[in-house]
Structure formats: structure tokens, C-alpha cells
Amino acid sequence: MQTQYEWIATAAFGLEGVVARELDRLGIPAKAENGGARFTGTVEDAMRANLWLRCADRVLLVVGRFEARSFEELFEGVRALPWESFIGVHTRFPVNGKCARSQLMSVRDCQAITKKAIVERLKEKYRVSWFEETDETVSIDVSLHGDIAQLTLDASGTALNRRGYRTWNGEAPLRETLAAALVSLSPWRPGMPLHDPMCGTGTLMIEAAMRQANRAPGLTREFALESWRGMPEGAFRVIREEAKAQFDPSLIEGISGSDIDPQAIELARRHLHQAGLAGRVEFTVADARDCVRTGERGAFLCNPPYGERLSDRRECETLYQQMGQLLRRHPGWTLSAITSHPGFERCFGRRADRKRRFYNGRLECEFMTFGLPAQKKKK
């Protein structure tokens, strides 16, 4: 029986349930909680989560959780944990920290005490008095929430939204993880046409295409846990090979995007190429106001400008009105859009059939869907 650990797949506000469902679909039962989804599993499960989760930010291994009302309790609690299972004599182990509503308010002191307690533990285990920290890195996080301290190791490394395909950013691009979540929360299902009439650098359509092609979002990148000591390299290789075998770009059909800005379209094509999907999504320069799509059913999905600057507000409101006309020109289609503009529905000309609240960076936004058949309407 392989060792089972506790893990958290961290997620942005509003995406915790989406990530828990993604884990369930991978065959890893998970429970959504504030800030992510918690699951129990082997290191192979964590590798699979890193490779396949589209909407999570990171995968963390929970080394321990305990009550800490004083720095002494924090020190003793940290020293009692089995750090030698993950940290070798030469491992680099930086400690990050965060505190919320805790009596131990100084993050720097919590970090320093955690580091000292781990060093004390390792000195005893390895019988050395000095650690050079020259080898692989294991990043440790100490997080104090109320009186509870939680110690985690970062199993992802670079955040999971960094899939490797987006190297140039256009105007206000969506984070890949949020884009993937909007794709899965939209009424679009593979087999139906999907179009983003304001696609910018293409993130939404590329995430949709990756999903349709069964392309694991982390297929071409590495994860921190792969360089941890004692990891089953062979098993990780098999998991990657299986993911490669599932990737089939020929499954992509009916996904397209357009934007009024030729530079954005150039970037979208470049990103598509870098995702290994060159030519599989049609990106064209066009004004959304002239957009006409064929097909009785289909889905528009977009992240229009928000008009955050007062000078752009009027223009955006006119654009939202034209988006309402776009949907009316396409009976049988749905339109889903994310925006921070509070007057979107008024400008669009009707109430949304479904709404969800998210943060796009620091902006509180609503993700709205219009045009759902009566039986699917749910606020």
C-alpha cells in the first residue's frame, strides 16, 4: 500500500467547487473548502492533479496542522513533523508565511521560527550542524488562520496557470485557470460551435480547444514534486506518457475567435501554435458588431472590455447593447460574458438566465449567461 498524504489544490474565490469536481472526475474524491479543494492521495495522485487540473492555482502537500497560540507552540508543533521525509541534507527549503486573524501576527517571526524548528529537527535526524542548501528546492509555507497553523509543501512550483503557451500578453488577458473555469461553466459542450467575438490573445478559445483535444494543461511543463527526494520517477513518466497518448488535436471542431485588433489576433495565433494546436482554432480580425455565425445552436463566450476608465465607459455600454443585438441575430445560441460593469444587463437589454461571481485579478466580476432554454434557467 502506497503512502497516502493530505493535499490541497488551491483555487481562486468562487472556483473551489469547480476544482473539487475536476478532482472527482480524475477519480480523486475531494472536498471543496475556502481557498481550494482538499483530498487524500498518493504522490502519483498529486502528479495527476498537477498535470490535469485546469482551474486550480497550485497543489500543496499538507505536512501538518495543529493549534499554535504562542511562538513556543508553533516551534514545538513544527519540530514534531517528519521533515526528513521530504528534505534531504542538501535540499534548499525556503519558508513563506501568511497570517490571518491569528494571535501570532508577525509573518516574519512565524517564518523564522518555522525555519529554525525544521533545522533543529533535521540536525537531530542527519547529525549535522549546518545545511548548505545547494540541491533541489522544496518550498514550505506556514499559514496561520486563527489559532491553527498549517504547514504545506508546494508540489507545483510555478503556478498552474502557467501552461507554457502564453508568452505575450495583450490587453487585459484572462488568467488561464479562470478562462478554463468559464469554459466549463458556459453552456458550450464539445460538438457545438463556440465563438469568442472579442477574443483578444485567445485564452478562452485555447482553453476550450485544449479541453476538447484532451490536452492536459500541464503537458509540457515540470512540477516541483518531480524533483523531491525519493519520488517514483518511473511512475511519473508513465502518468505523462498516458497524458501524451490522450492528446488528440483532431478532436477539435467548431471553435473560433475574432477581435477588432489585428495585433491581438497575431498573438492568439502564436499562443495557439505554442499550445501545440496550430490551425485548429480559426482566429480572424473582425468587428463583433458585424459578427454572423452559422448553425442552429451554438455558444458565444467572451471577456469584453469593462470600461473601468470613465472615458471608456460610454463606448463599452454601446458595445454591450450591440452584444444584445448579436444574440438576437442568433436565436438558438447562448451568450456568456464576464464583466465588472454593474450595468451590463441593462445595456444588453435583458436579464441574465444564470450568474456567478468571480474575481478577475482584483476586479469583482459577474459571469452571466443569456439565451438558455427555459428548463435550464437557474439564477
Residue ranges that bind ligand SAM, judged by CB under 6 A = 170-174, 197-198, 200-201, 203-204, 259-261, 264, 287-289, 303-305, 319
Q: Tell me how far, at minimum, the Cβ of 160 lies from ligand SAM, in Å.
A: 17
Burial of 105 (0-12, 13-18, 19+ CB in 10 A): exposed
Q: Which three cell numbers stand for residue 28?
A: 480523486
Output 20 or 174, the one with its CB closest to ligand SAM. 174
CA distances to 197, 262, 336, 338 from 292, rounded to whole Å, are: 10, 19, 16, 21
Q: Tell me how far, at minimum, the Cβ of 211 lies from ligand SAM, in Å.
A: 16
Q: Tell me how far, at minimum, the Cβ of 88 lies from ligand SAM, in Å.
A: 41
Q: Tell me how far, at minimum, the Cβ of 295 lies from ligand SAM, in Å.
A: 20
Q: Tell me how far, at minimum, the Cβ of 12 lies from ligand SAM, in Å.
A: 15
| Residue pair 217/54 in contact by the 8 Å Cβ criterion | yes
Give the H/E segment covering residue 111: helix 107-126
Task: Report residue 109: phi and psi, to 5°.
Answer: -65, -40
Q: Tell me how far, at minimum, the Cβ of 315 lies from ligand SAM, in Å.
A: 8
- 353: which DSSP letter? S
Burial of 189 (0-12, 13-18, 19+ CB in 10 A): exposed
- The residue at minimum Cβ distance from ligand SAM is 200
| Residue pair 263/170 in contact by the 8 Å Cβ criterion | yes
Amino acid (1-letter code) at residue 356? R
Q: How far is CA 378 from the centre of its chain?
A: 25
Q: Tell me how far, at minimum, the Cβ of 342 lies from ligand SAM, in Å.
A: 17
- 259: which DSSP letter? E
Output 10 or 201, the one with its CB closest to ligand SAM. 201
Q: Tell me how far, at minimum, the Cβ of 312 lies from ligand SAM, in Å.
A: 10
Q: Tell me how far, at minimum, the Cβ of 91 lies from ligand SAM, in Å.
A: 37
Q: Please name the residue that has the C-alpha cell 489544490.
A: 9
Handedness of CA 276, 191, 18, 43 (dihedral sign): negative
Give all strands (DSSP E) within the chain, no chain letters: 5-10, 30-33, 36-41, 58-67, 95-100, 140-145, 148-154, 194-196, 255-259, 282-285, 298-302, 333-339, 354-360, 363-370
Output 45 or 196, the one with its CB closest to ligand SAM. 196
Output 67 or 315, the one with its CB closest to ligand SAM. 315
Output 77 or 173, the one with its CB closest to ligand SAM. 173
SS3 337: strand
